[in-house]
Amino acid sequence: MRPGWEIGAVSNGGYLLALAARAMSEVAERPPLTVTGHYLAPVPPGPAIAEVEIVRSGRRFATLRATLQRDGRPLLTVLGTFGRVPGGDVARIDGAPPELDPYDVSQPVAGSGEPPFPTINDRLANRLRRGDDGFRFGAPTGRAEVAGWFAFADEGPIDELALLLAADAFPPAVFNSGLPVAWVPTIELTVHVRAVPVAGPLRVLFRSRFISGGLLDEDGELWDTSGRLVAQSRQLSLIPRP
Amino acid sequence: MRPGWEIGAVSNGGYLLALAARAMSEVAERPPLTVTGHYLAPVPPGPAIAEVEIVRSGRRFATLRATLQRDGRPLLTVLGTFGRVPGGDVARIDGAPPELDPYDVSQPVAGSGEPPFPTINDRLANRLRRGDDGFRFGAPTGRAEVAGWFAFADEGPIDELALLLAADAFPPAVFNSGLPVAWVPTIELTVHVRAVPVAGPLRVLFRSRFISGGLLDEDGELWDTSGRLVAQSRQLSLIPRP
């Protein structure tokens, strides 16, 4: 992450959620379907323990909770239901992937070598929609919206766990609003897995519609290259007082 | 759980979430700010125990988890952060309350005496937007959307806990889609409290945008009579195979 959208030198929220969910997924022996994390503290890189507990394990779904801890201090607590997307023929989609330039000609997000540089972005090869990096240069678009491509730098496949990471791996949409908001610590992040992506980068769109009362939402839609919605996300974040 | 809050033979999901959150709120000594429930079983009325645990209690926010149980069997498990809406001057709202006829001339939801009759509607005095009850008469609107007024029958005030109930106290929006969906058990429901409502009924809007893969979302917006957004909700539900 480049200066301007990181929170000091702390681990990315989506990365932490995926990390906790991976531990839960191993216990559940199923991939994540819907996962909610509540962020309790900023987390500098370092060792952490995931304490995982099964609440209910059924035939199709298992519900688990987990808390990431370091030195006995809770960092992130998670509730999730695990299981495959059930499938079914009833379908109606009111929406579409964001319109983007092709991946190869889009604006790369990462620029390695600018410390403090979270290692996670060495692993990503995200690209922003044209103009959506304007907030970096004092030229926000004026819309609380960020869109782009999500991909791993090693072109690795995007599985259900990766979708949790992808849901929080872009600059906050509010940065393009032009409002005086410099950082937005996440209180809560929920991700619903809606399908397993086909190969290739994801088209993603994040939007904050309700900025008020010291809080803001951010809704995310993640689409695969076949044009299918593969995840939805929503987070509630704090607008710190200046 | 008290009788009088059922849809058919089982307690309403919003009622159960509010019930669990009330127990958590008493322990936290703070109102709910963001609450997520995972529904583990259909719940007929009857006694239940809420096991509440503090994950972290800070100066401003407290994060707790709870599980509603009956006879040792988990029914609903909840993760929530409790605390007052912080307040702040930065604001931008991209949205507006649904346009509704005045409360007094809107269509009451309850039609007492028609079994199976959602008894919850005896406690509530909700009213639907004109036409949004069409699905009851074989005339769905064709949009997966339901809007209306939320109020208590006794005209009691709507506090933060009541917002959790209000987020799941209307017919599923998908019923107006015209799709062959007869019931939609909730897997997960998240509610963000965004403000304490002023007196009077709420204007509410629920919409399902992504119906696919045997799952559907339902997004809710709840507005008070001063025109302020007081809560957002999202749920993930299952479309049972016929």
Question: What digits encode the pLDDT tens for the residues A76-111?
Answer: 999 999 999 999 999 999 999 999 999 998 878 755
Which range of residues forms the domain containing residue A230?
Answer: 13-84+103-238
Taking the C-alpha atoms of residue A65 and residue B75, their distance in angstroms, rounded to an integer, is: 15
Q: Do A180 and B90 touch (CB under 8 A)?
A: yes
CB count within 10 Å of CB B148 equals 29
Domain count within chain A? 1
With 60 as the cut, is the pLDDT of residue A53 above it?
yes
B95 in a structural domain: no
Higher pLDDT: B240 or A227? It is A227
**pLDDT value at position B8?**
58
With 50 as the cut, is the pLDDT of residue B227 above it?
yes
The end-to-end CA distance of chain B, in Å, is 30
With 70 as the cut, is the pLDDT of residue B117 above it?
no
Token pair 């940065």: residue: A175
- Measure B101 CA to nearest chain A CA, in Å: 24
Average pLDDT over residues B70-84: 97
**pLDDT value at position A46?**
83
CATH code for position B193: 2.40.160.210
Higher pLDDT: A112 or A138? It is A138
With 60 as the cut, is the pLDDT of residue B16 above it?
yes
Instruction: Give, in order, the Cα–Cα distances in Å from A70 to each of A47, A49, A187.
Output: 7, 6, 19
**pLDDT value at position A2?**
29
The β-bridge partners of B217 are B236
Average pLDDT over residues B91-110: 90
Chain A residues 87-106 with CB within 8 Å of chain B? 87-88, 90-95
B1 in a structural domain: no
In degrees, rounded to 5, the angle at the alpha carbon of residue A139 between the alpha carbons of residues A137 and A145 is 110
A123 in a structural domain: yes
B34 in a structural domain: yes
Identify the residue among A64, A71, A90 best suited for mutation to test binding to B, counting B beta carbons within 10 A and taking the highest: A90
Task: Indicate the residue of B34, B94, B239 with minimum beta-carbon distance to A187.
Answer: B34
Q: What is the pLDDT of residues B162-198, one digit of tens each?
A: 999 999 999 999 999 999 998 899 999 999 999 999 9
B36 in a structural domain: yes
Taking the C-alpha atoms of residue A74 and residue A233, their distance in angstroms, rounded to an integer, is: 23
Q: Do B65 and A56 touch (CB under 8 A)?
A: no
A210, A7, A204: which is closest to A106 by C-alpha? A204
Lowest average pLDDT, out of A1-5, A215-219, B71-75, B97-101, goes to A1-5
Average pLDDT over residues B13-36: 96
Taking the C-alpha atoms of residue A91 and residue A65, their distance in angstroms, rounded to an integer, is: 31
Query: Residue A28 in contact with residue A64, Cβ under 8 Å?
Result: yes
Average pLDDT over residues B92-112: 86
**pLDDT value at position A5?**
27
Q: Do A194 and B213 touch (CB under 8 A)?
A: yes
3-state helix, strand, coil in chain A (%, to 5): 15, 35, 50
With 80 as the cut, is the pLDDT of residue B76 above it?
yes
Average pLDDT over residues B8-18: 84
Q: What is the pLDDT of residues A156-193, one digit of tens each?
A: 999 999 999 999 999 999 999 999 998 899 999 999 99
Task: Indicate the residue of A33, A180, A213 with minimum beta-carbon distance to B85.
Answer: A213
A190 in a structural domain: yes
Instruction: Give, in order, the Cα–Cα distances in Å from A231 to each of A111, A202, B210.
Output: 27, 10, 10
3-state SS, residue B21: helix
B223 in a structural domain: yes
Q: How many CB pairs under 8 A join A and B?
A: 191
In three-state form (DSSP H/G/I as H, E/B as E, the rest C), the secondary structure along B114-180 is CCCCCCHHHHECCEECCCCCHHHHCCCCCCCEEEEEECECCCCCCCHHHHHHHCCCCCCHHHHCCCC
Amino acid A6 reads E
A175 in a structural domain: yes
Chain A residues 208-237 with CB within 8 Å of chain B? 208-215, 217, 228-229, 232, 234, 236
**pLDDT value at position B109?**
73
Question: Residues of B with CB below 8 A from A61's CB?
Answer: 187
Query: Residue A76 in contact with residue A39, Cβ under 8 Å?
Result: yes
Average pLDDT over residues B223-238: 98
User: Which chain B residue has the Cα nearest residue A84?
Assistant: B213
**pLDDT value at position A11?**
79
Assigned token pair, B119: 């008894």
Give the largest Cα separation in chain B, rounded.
Answer: 53
